[in-house]
Chains A and B, each alone.
Chain A
Amino acid sequence: MTWFKSNKGPRAVLREEDKTVRTEGLFTKCESCRAIIWKKDLDANDRVCPKCGYHFKIGAHERLRMLFDEGAYETLDADLVSPDPLKFVDRQPYSEKLAAAQRATGLNDAVVNARGKLGGRATLISAMEYSFIGGSMGSVVGEMITLAIERALAERVPLIAVSASGGARMHEGVLSLIQMAKVSAALVRLDDAHIPFISVLTDPTTGGVTASYAMLGDLNIAEPGALIGFAGPRVIEQTIRQKLPKGFQRAEFLLQHGMLDAIVDRRSLRNYLIIAQSFFLA
């Protein structure tokens, strides 16, 4: 006789798919603190990690919805496209890379020009799309930022540029480089006309965008932890052949070195911009 006897018979075998709870698409991992976050919580928190405050990268339209009153705005200049002036080919033709980026993002290039209201005041915002070839600035980005500046001047409306960019776009050669000068030239006129221009630098903003309009705001403000610089950290590491200091080229590092006016949490960014604009415009 056995001391223990199962009289329940064989246990019902669970099917494979019933063994796991289906969480795919519901949760995400914080890239900084590795915490598991419910996606809805993250979205409700302007895509800032509720545990550690890490700011996730966001797209241009998501940015514009967060900033404008009621998330309402109209887009402008969306019909500008690059004609691939250099007929550039590396491992794949630039024209194909462009087409793929256009399909993936639904945009024609790496910036969205928009008009709407911010704190009840008519405002222009140009927001960059990092997922479009690294938010790089070619002729179209340069032209669109310039058009936004000229529109701000013509309509006497403040302009905000939200940057996220790896710099000038190689595939358009010096035509990309020269956009830095073009945009900066247009900013002279805005400056002379006393129309506010606020630059918001987000993760990452480097190269030709930092070395032109992103550093030329009446206020240059950044999101926490954003990588901001001229040369990329890898290039510097290769040049000086030593490890870079901790926190190098992060927003906090730039603030410490006097390069930024403020670091503003994304959740209070809208409010900060409204206050700044009312200071500038009575």
Chain B
Amino acid sequence: MSDDEIADKIRSLESDIDRLARERPSSRGSEVERLRAELRRLREAIRPGSKAWERTLLARHEQRPYTLDYVERLFQDFSEIHGDRRFGDDPAIVAGMARYHGHHVMVVGHQKGRDLKQRQYRNFGYAQPEGYRKALRAMKLAEKFSRPIIAFIDTPGAYPSVGAEERGQAEAIAHNLREMNRLAVPVIVCIIGEGGSGGALGIGVGNHILMMENAVYTVITPEGCSAILWKDQDHVEAAAEALKLTAPDLQEFHIIDEIVPEPPAGAQTDHKAAAEMLDGKLRPALESLLGMTGAQLREQRYQKFRSMGAVVRLNKLYAP
């Protein structure tokens, strides 16, 4: 059985159990127990390995929910705003006004395409300088009218191209890193798929950082790391492992705040369930920040990033 077939089996088992439990609460208890045991066995079989490389592949899965899939399921009245008012509009980053549980919020996020045409249009989620500038413009707009910001991260990285360099890819990201720190409204970051280096961080400076269970966040792709450090492409798995790019690793290093669980075989099997699980973490995170003043939000965000890193001072105990 393939993973998808197993996932189907799990869903039908779940509904069978529900139905049986509802229809015959007492008499068929043993049957329900048998089905439950079967369900547990299937879930174990399908649960993705904790291996870093497997998670990397899941994070890139072509059926994985993208930013607009979550927006469609969790937000109302999404109204997109385009363009950086400097050069162009980058389809690899979307931005727009929306309502979330009654709150007006600004959504920004990387967007990948589902079919070939869409993928090309979205440039495979590789954002360009105008994308980062559009995102910041949208965020400044939200700040001006005191609306919180929810950022979705899902990119292989910022686009490496002649045009992107000419238009200041590095400057665009650097500027965002500084200006996102100034925002006097809540910023919640959700890493939903690939967190690809500077291209991810460029819209990733927030008060609270959520990460989906099978998302990855890394300084360089395992492929890039293998090419540079091992000088070949045979060590992507070792590189993925060494880079500590999974959600549990990053929580340990205090890079992210919370891990959002995913459906048993990964978010790609059930977009609705994945969205509900994200909702379960996103809503409380947002509502806990709404009471804070602009100054408090800035200070909290500053202190959060200020404390990141691993540094020791040379042992001074031996000094006279």
Chain A residues within 8 Å of B158, by CB: 211, 230-231
Known: A143-B311, A146-B306, A178-B201. A211 touches B162 (CB 8 A): no
Contacts of B159 in A (CB 8 A): 239
Q: How many residues of B contact A (CB 8 A)?
A: 59
Write out the residue numbers on chain B whose beta carbons fall within 8 Å of the beta carbon of A185. Answer: 177-178, 181, 205, 301-302, 305-306
Q: Which residues of B contact A178 (CB under 8 A)?
A: 201, 255, 305, 308-309
- A90-B242, A210-B170 known; A175 vs B162 contact (CB < 8 Å): no
Q: Does A264 contact B (CB under 8 A)?
A: no
Partner of B253, one of A175, A180, A210: A175
Docked CA distance A41–B109 (Å)? 55
Interface SS of B by simple majority: helix
- Given the known A-B contacts A173-B243, A173-B244, A177-B201, are A79 and B177 also in contact in the complex, defined by CB atoms under 8 Å? no
Please judge, given known A-B contacts A90-B230, A182-B306, A244-B162, whether A259 and B178 are in contact too, CB under 8 Å: no
B170: which A residues are within 8 A, CB to CB? 210-211, 214-215, 228-230
> Are B161 and A81 in contact, CB atoms less than 8 angstroms apart?
no
Q: When the two chains form their complex, are residues B162 and A177 in contact, meaning their CB atoms are under 8 A apart?
A: no
- Check A91 against B229 for contact (C-beta < 8 Å): yes
Nearest CB in chain B to that of A184: its residue: B177
Instruction: Specify which chain A residues have a CB less than 8 angstroms from the CB of B249 in the assembled complex.
Output: 173
Q: Is the CB of B250 within 8 A of A211?
A: no
Partner of A230, one of B165, B175, B235, B238: B165
Q: Is A204 an interface residue (CB 8 A)?
A: no
Residues of A within 8 A of B (CB): 79-83, 85-86, 88-91, 108, 139-140, 142-143, 146, 168-170, 172-182, 184-189, 191, 207-208, 210-216, 228-231, 235-236, 239-240, 244-245, 248-249, 257-259
Enumerate chain B interface residues (CB-CB to A < 8 A). 158-162, 164-171, 173-175, 177-178, 181-182, 195, 197-198, 201-202, 204-205, 217-220, 224-225, 228-230, 235, 238-239, 242-245, 249-250, 253, 255, 301-302, 305-306, 308-314, 316
